[in-house]
Structure 1
Amino acid sequence: MADLEDGSTETDAFPDVPLPGPELARVLDARLAEVPGWHAPDDPVRLGFAMTAPHALALDAFGRFAERNPNNVGVHTRFGDGVRGTRRLEREAVLALAGLLHADAADGYLTGGANEGTLAGLRVGRNALRAAGAGRVVVLASALTHHSVAKAAEILDLELRLCPAGPSWLLEAGAVDAALDALAAETGADARTGVVVVSTAGYYNTGLVDPVDAIAGVLAGRAAGGGNLSVFHHVDAAHGGMILPFTAPEVPFDFRSPYVHSIVLDPHKSGLMPYSCGVFLCRKGLLGHGAVPAPMSGFVDETISGSRSGAMAAALWSLVFGLAADGYREVFRDCLRVRDRLADAIRAADPDAVVLPSPGNTVVVAGFSHGDGRLPAELAERYRLVGNTLPWTAPDGSTGDRLFHHFYAMPHLTPAQVDGFAAALAGSLADAARTPRRDAPAAPAAPAAELRDLRRSSVCLRHLVVHPPGRRDPDDHPHAYSFHTFQDRAGLGEQLAARPWTGDDGSPTGLYVYAPDLEAPFANELFGVTDPGRYSLEVLDRNQQKLSLVGAAHFAVFGPEPRTPDRPVVLANFHADGTLRSVEYKYGDRRYNDEVQVFADHVVVKIGKDARSVRRDGDDYSFSLDTSLELRLRLTDDDAVPRITRVARHADPALPRRRHLLRGQYRRFPNRFFDTVVDMTAGRRHEARWPAAGPVPSGSEGPLLARSALLDLVRVTPSVSGGALSVRLTAVGGPGTAAFTVPLGLGARLPGLLPGIAVGEPETLDPAEVVAWAARLHPRLGPLREAALARGGQRRLSVPDEVAGRTERT
């Protein structure tokens, strides 16, 4: 799998022949061993997530019915339906849960989870409100509402309006009333606005329950008073709906309120079901608002998912009737005892923490007193803990945001596991208290104005962020090192130190050297030398050399003339043994480029390369490389005719897309994505024009398109003529062209032009060696930059005659 090697992701070939039985079992056993269990000493204790071990009754029932593969498509809660098999089991389980939630009559069905159930609720609500004459439908919820509400609103193309989370962390009835007043004022007298109000019974990050009955009362008053609004009320009870009826039956979050129209439950959370099982419930007469005829199958479909697992219905039935109310009460009494044990452990470890057990729910919310309230990373990772910033009113009346962590006392959690966490928490907080906070040290006066930014950064974007101390050795993965534990350099207190470099006689040279620690210049991330505004050479330490995808040392020429779309930055990359890896020509800004990379035996042209360090969570960073089109030309030592061997189209460049993943999606360092990949081969000595006539044989239908840093959406046309590769960009829908021309023999000449030094044992280097190396490289690499200056849209890469002559003389 390529993505496990270099961060890029492409499809794998479908196998032609089956794996032998023993090999199939070996692979499955290996993957199973990677999936954590629940009680083994090495299994993680999932304190921050609402998940638990499924009950044996459910697993047994699922296994018994899975072989017959029943499909419970449709809804089975109506009179005369659901009379046989797993459909009857679904009907009985769903109606029993509706009775638990005080519904006199209800319809519903099993979903793939509460996300799907919320989508179903908002869909039924939208359609019902439109049937009531609403031309506009708005979803109204708390800012702390689960993200599935925003996702459902986006899918259904509904406007989402969020009420700010106040000090109670609840959606208060008064806030709903005020928001409805505002919507009524926005709606003309002859128009009607529909409002889907979403309440929550068990917020994921607090466990708290909205005053559903009070909100329903506001909606009832609106309905009775007329006006230009119609309302629908959906309750997200994914976490509380299977708990509160057994621990706090007096809490009226359910169908006891006439203005609750639909509810979603998540039995695969506290309900002890395996994934994935949710339940959607609504009042009679509403489900038809989601009905779609299915004439090819002979029924009417009122669900989101269509086909559903009958075996899952059997599993849910086994718990509803095999545990029943008595069994669930016992389960959740134990959970509340464990919840209180958790709360006591947190108070013991941090007496000044704010600790808030959720009434009737199995959640503890804690705001720790030290620093910014963030738990040590190792502890948070080990126990799968997540922090959320919430509004807070302190005892002295001051208000502001504060970081809180949530802890789930789920049915699988044992007192022994809580005690183990208590010891780990106490030890971690004690260590944190003994370790002074590493604020960034005050920087001495900069030796030159040009170096102000250097203390926080370096020429290479990757070195804006570094591994924290103790997690820097890739060979220690996964115990200490991870591909995504990068943090901001300045935030670690490791801003780069810089000082002038003087000559042998002590006179200033205009150069500066820099490193996180100039007393041990090659032992921590990198050592660099720079002529500010002109060039910089950086040598990586041992650990960074293991990590680097582009060599062990980098020489960048970026001045004295500044980078422009016509004048590139030129970068030479060297292997640890001192041999040249590649020379890169970057046209664009620091992050977004059209780029040419020249190697000894191949050329890579990157159109629309966007490189960024991305904050994942808190001070945790990853790195992302997004390229619209990458053309890879492999050279052979002959005159072979050029040919395109592969075109892989991963995405359509003509459709705008997000260039990088969302912050929470990063799992690895780096992440690499390409719209299109083109692989070519050609003989280095090929001189004739290719293609001779007609369109480029691209290997697939349609032109090659890319999002260029220089011209936005372009057609890309590669050709070979006169012993050089030319890649021409032609703007789509507007004027503008650009072309990159690379002699096929350029890569073979560059190693002789740009000699290196061995850096594989950086701790043996002397800074003077690196300074002298930079002085040798600049007169050779600088002219390559000027030769690549765009002229009339043409960017021709070459070795200037004066540089070639100097190389021959030396």
Structure 2
Amino acid sequence: MVISTTAGDRADHFLDCTFASRYVRNPVPKFMMPATSQPKEAAYQIINDELMLDGAPRLNLASFVTTWMEPECDKLMMASMNKNYVDMDEYPVTTELQNRCVNMIANLFNAPIGAAETAVGVGTVGSSEAIMLAGLAFKRKWQHRRKLEGKPYDKPNIVTGANVQVCWEKFARYFEVELKEVKLSEGYYVMDPVKAVEMVDENTICVAAILGSTLTGEFEDVKLLNDLLIKKNKETGWETPIHVDAASGGFIAPFLYPELEWDFRLPLVKSINVSGHKYGLVYAGVGWVVWRSKEDLPDELVFHINYLGSDQPTFTLNFSKGSSQIIAQYYQFIRLGFEGYKNVMENCMDNTRALKEGLEKTGRFEILSKDIGVPLVAFKLKDSSKHTVFEIADSLRKFGWIVPAYTMPANAEHIAVLRVVVREDFSRSLAERLLSDIDKVLNEIDTLPSRVSMKAAHVTPTVDEGVNASEGMVKPGKKSVEEIQREVATYWRNLVERKRTGVC
């Protein structure tokens, strides 16, 4: 294929570097490998120029993922970038460090193991892989039990709240498991344990509880879920277990809420996942999954290979992966210890409270996040009749802040919120700067025409028209004012997203 180099095509198909003339004059094709090599300085500068347009990671308040580590840990990570973790025989020390991390996490989560026992668990590529592995273990154990009972085993399901992260939907779709979601309601944005247990049937392989909802940071009541499920199991003869998705809260609860029962202290909790790259304080991407005991991980899911030098058991979806994040996790564990993690989490919560108080002082917002949970602030406008949270999120980008605006899942879609995740590197001074910039944005949008009223201007006084949320066009049909406002909010959210991604 030949690509034209005319002026009209040049911008679409080629990259020009500001400083490339010092090294090379030819433009670089975007979608085909260049025919010739070029100096390393030019290659570096071309890529660096483009990356300048990315957002600043520390101002990305949408992400739970760690964006700062100590220089000493950075050095350890760089020194191990060329180690393939799967080569356990070649890198036995790295394997040993992973096993130590698994044991430390299992003990932190009160697994019933002795001091000298080896915990059952593995390092993963984030919590997504961890959840896939835990789900597969539950599915296989359920199938075995059904086969022994002579019952059908082709329609497994998992019960979760509608607030679960998308990786649960991926697991359900990829591995053919029905996802039964407990719908949310206004004012209650986590899974209701009572409703969850009501949805459990003989085909339920597990109930997934979330320790730190992505939407509001709230911890679900795992203790109540455990007690209700024990009662139902006793009545039905089923053995429905619990998995705890502690991706966000697993490295928070043990340090801030040690008396809270959510982990292996509850008998039906059979496995737990946690993200090392969130409040485990390691760069993306590392996750962990641990099981209560060996009996909870079916043997046939563990593979043994010997072509890398020795017999090596493996239970992962990925094969080759870097060692650096595992080494970084071990560094953080021994560097900070229990005391250090506790100090970091307490500081995050202090900054969260300061941010929450500042937002409340504006008189414009209602706080939806709870005092006990992940250090984040989820908040919505008290009055969204003139402007929306999507306008605020869009305007904050002018100051460099990335603050997500989104609507709640079913059945609370009409609630639109902003969320600020407070990480270790989000200092009190940054919180104060964010509050100052939010105040500027509020003052600015107050001077602008109401986008909601502008879009609703086509509606007759009898509210006989609706707004098409995807195109901003009027469509027939009776709608309430509240429905129109929700559709307008969706329209502006979609517009902001199209602007952000360049799809307009």
TM class by shorter chain equals: 0.7 to 0.9
Given that 2:85 and 2:91 are in contact with CA atoms closer than 8 Å, whether structure 1 keeps it comes out as: no
Query: Residues 5 and 349 of structure 1: is their aligned pair in 2 closer, same or farther, counting only changes over 3 Å?
Result: farther
- 1:496-532 CA distance string (max 9 Å, x none): xxxxxxxxxxxxxxxxxxxxxxxxxxxxxxxxxxxxx
The structure whose RCO (Cα within 8 Å, separation 6+) is larger is 2
- 1:194-236 CA distance string (max 9 Å, x none): 4321100000111011111221223333444443x44232111
Q: How big is the shift at 1:283?
A: 2.0
The residue type equivalent to 1:92 in the other structure is R
2:112 equivalent among 85, 101, 104: 104
**What are the within-5 Å matches in structure 2 for residues 120-131 of structure 1?**
120-131=133-144
In the alignment, the residues of structure 1 paired with residue 319 and residue 332 of structure 2 have an alpha-carbon distance, to the nearest angstrom, of 24
2:220 equivalent among 204, 210, 222: 210
1:138 aligned onto 2:161: no
In the alignment, the residues of structure 2 paired with residue 240 and residue 226 of structure 1 have an alpha-carbon distance, to the nearest angstrom, of 32
In the alignment, the residues of structure 1 paired with residue 209 and residue 261 of structure 2 have an alpha-carbon distance, to the nearest angstrom, of 12
Given that 2:197 and 2:228 are in contact with CA atoms closer than 8 Å, whether structure 1 keeps it comes out as: yes
- 1:388 maps to 406
In the alignment, the residues of structure 2 paired with residue 102 and residue 201 of structure 1 have an alpha-carbon distance, to the nearest angstrom, of 15
Q: How big is the shift at 1:261?
A: 0.9
- 2:332 maps to 319
- 1:410 maps to 423
**What are the within-5 Å matches in structure 2 for residues 21-170 of structure 1?**
21-37=40-56, 45-56=59-70, 57-67=72-82, 69-72=83-86, 84-105=92-113, 106-133=119-146, 135=153, 136-166=155-185, 167-170=187-190
- 1:290 maps to 301
Given that 1:387 and 1:404 are in contact with CA atoms closer than 8 Å, whether structure 2 keeps it comes out as: yes
**What are the within-5 Å matches in structure 2 for residues 419-438 of structure 1?**
419-438=432-451
Query: Residues 61 and 617 of structure 1: is their aligned pair in 2 closer, same or farther, counting only changes over 3 Å?
Result: farther
Query: Residues 15 and 390 of structure 1: is their aligned pair in 2 closer, same or farther, counting only changes over 3 Å?
Result: closer
Say which SS state the counterpart of residue 303 (structure 1) adopts.
coil
- 1:5 maps to 12
Given that 1:142 and 1:162 are in contact with CA atoms closer than 8 Å, whether structure 2 keeps it comes out as: yes
What is the Cα-based RMSD across aligned positions, in Å? 3.7
Q: How big is the shift at 1:20?
A: 1.5
1:378 equivalent among 394, 403, 423: 394
Given that 1:248 and 1:360 are in contact with CA atoms closer than 8 Å, whether structure 2 keeps it comes out as: no
In the alignment, the residues of structure 2 paired with residue 38 and residue 668 of structure 1 have an alpha-carbon distance, to the nearest angstrom, of 20
- 1:269 maps to 278
1:178 aligned onto 2:198: yes
In the alignment, the residues of structure 2 paired with residue 444 and residue 163 of structure 1 have an alpha-carbon distance, to the nearest angstrom, of 35
Q: How big is the shift at 1:366?
A: 1.0
Given that 2:256 and 2:345 are in contact with CA atoms closer than 8 Å, whether structure 1 keeps it comes out as: yes
Query: Residues 36 and 666 of structure 1: is their aligned pair in 2 closer, same or farther, counting only changes over 3 Å?
Result: closer
Say which SS state the counterpart of residue 501 (structure 2) adopts.
coil
- 1:198 maps to 208
Percent identical among aligned pairs is 17
Say which SS state the counterpart of residue 66 (structure 1) adopts.
coil
**What are the within-5 Å matches in structure 2 for residues 291-310 of structure 1?**
291-294=302-305, 298-310=311-323
1:619 equivalent among 475, 478, 492: 492
In the alignment, the residues of structure 1 paired with residue 370 and residue 112 of structure 2 have an alpha-carbon distance, to the nearest angstrom, of 32
Say which SS state the counterpart of residue 415 (structure 2) adopts.
strand
Query: Residues 129 and 82 of structure 1: is their aligned pair in 2 closer, same or farther, counting only changes over 3 Å?
Result: farther
In the alignment, the residues of structure 1 paired with residue 91 and residue 379 of structure 2 have an alpha-carbon distance, to the nearest angstrom, of 49
- 1:549-596 CA distance string (max 9 Å, x none): xxxxxxxxxxxxxxxxxxxxxxxxxxxxxxxxxxxxxxxxxxxxxxxx
**What are the within-5 Å matches in structure 2 for residues 555-634 of structure 1?**
618-621=491-494
Unaligned runs of 5+ in 2: 4-8, 14-28, 114-118, 148-152, 476-487
In the alignment, the residues of structure 2 paired with residue 307 and residue 237 of structure 1 have an alpha-carbon distance, to the nearest angstrom, of 25
- 2:482 maps to none
Query: Residues 38 and 19 of structure 1: is their aligned pair in 2 closer, same or farther, counting only changes over 3 Å?
Result: same
In the alignment, the residues of structure 2 paired with residue 665 and residue 176 of structure 1 have an alpha-carbon distance, to the nearest angstrom, of 39
Given that 1:350 and 1:368 are in contact with CA atoms closer than 8 Å, whether structure 2 keeps it comes out as: no
Given that 1:346 and 1:355 are in contact with CA atoms closer than 8 Å, whether structure 2 keeps it comes out as: no
In the alignment, the residues of structure 2 paired with residue 63 and residue 341 of structure 1 have an alpha-carbon distance, to the nearest angstrom, of 36
Unaligned runs of 5+ in 1: 40-44, 75-80, 185-192, 394-398, 446-452, 457-463, 466-485, 492-614, 624-662, 671-810
Query: Residues 408 and 164 of structure 1: is their aligned pair in 2 closer, same or farther, counting only changes over 3 Å?
Result: same
Say which SS state the counterpart of residue 261 (structure 1) adopts.
strand
- 1:299-334 CA distance string (max 9 Å, x none): 443222123322222111100111111111111111
Query: Residues 364 and 3 of structure 1: is their aligned pair in 2 closer, same or farther, counting only changes over 3 Å?
Result: farther
- 1:524-552 CA distance string (max 9 Å, x none): xxxxxxxxxxxxxxxxxxxxxxxxxxxxx
- 1:451-476 CA distance string (max 9 Å, x none): xx9xx9xxxxxxx99xxxxxxxxxxx
The residue type equivalent to 1:305 in the other structure is N
Say which SS state the counterpart of residue 372 (structure 2) adopts.
coil
Say which SS state the counterpart of residue 419 (structure 2) adopts.
strand
Q: How big is the shift at 1:490?
A: 6.4
Given that 2:65 and 2:283 are in contact with CA atoms closer than 8 Å, whether structure 1 keeps it comes out as: no
Structure having the larger proportion of residues in strand: 1
Given that 2:277 and 2:284 are in contact with CA atoms closer than 8 Å, whether structure 1 keeps it comes out as: yes
- 1:761-792 CA distance string (max 9 Å, x none): xxxxxxxxxxxxxxxxxxxxxxxxxxxxxxxx
The residue type equivalent to 2:192 in the other structure is E
Say which SS state the counterpart of residue 435 (structure 2) adopts.
helix
Query: Residues 249 and 379 of structure 1: is their aligned pair in 2 closer, same or farther, counting only changes over 3 Å?
Result: farther
The residue type equivalent to 1:256 in the other structure is R
The residue type equivalent to 1:126 in the other structure is K
In the alignment, the residues of structure 1 paired with residue 267 and residue 440 of structure 2 have an alpha-carbon distance, to the nearest angstrom, of 51
Given that 1:73 and 1:308 are in contact with CA atoms closer than 8 Å, whether structure 2 keeps it comes out as: no
Say which SS state the counterpart of residue 123 (structure 2) adopts.
strand
Given that 2:216 and 2:368 are in contact with CA atoms closer than 8 Å, whether structure 1 keeps it comes out as: no
Say which SS state the counterpart of residue 290 (structure 2) adopts.
strand
Query: Residues 225 and 665 of structure 1: is their aligned pair in 2 closer, same or farther, counting only changes over 3 Å?
Result: farther
Q: How big is the shift at 1:249?
A: 1.4
- 1:272-301 CA distance string (max 9 Å, x none): 211111111112222335224547555443
The residue type equivalent to 2:73 in the other structure is A
1:328 equivalent among 336, 341, 350: 341
Query: Residues 416 and 352 of structure 1: is their aligned pair in 2 closer, same or farther, counting only changes over 3 Å?
Result: closer
Given that 2:379 and 2:419 are in contact with CA atoms closer than 8 Å, whether structure 1 keeps it comes out as: yes
After TM superposition, the runs of 4+ consecutive aligned structure 1 residues lying more than 6 A away are: 1-4, 663-666
- 1:369 maps to 382
Given that 1:622 and 1:669 are in contact with CA atoms closer than 8 Å, whether structure 2 keeps it comes out as: no
- 1:234-292 CA distance string (max 9 Å, x none): 11111111111111112212111111111111111122211111111112222335224
Q: How big is the shift at 1:16?
A: 4.3
Q: How big is the shift at 1:149?
A: 0.5
Query: Residues 289 and 217 of structure 1: is their aligned pair in 2 closer, same or farther, counting only changes over 3 Å?
Result: farther
Say which SS state the counterpart of residue 244 (structure 2) adopts.
strand
- 1:360-416 CA distance string (max 9 Å, x none): 4201121211225524243354422223334899xxxxx994222222111111222
The residue type equivalent to 1:364 in the other structure is V
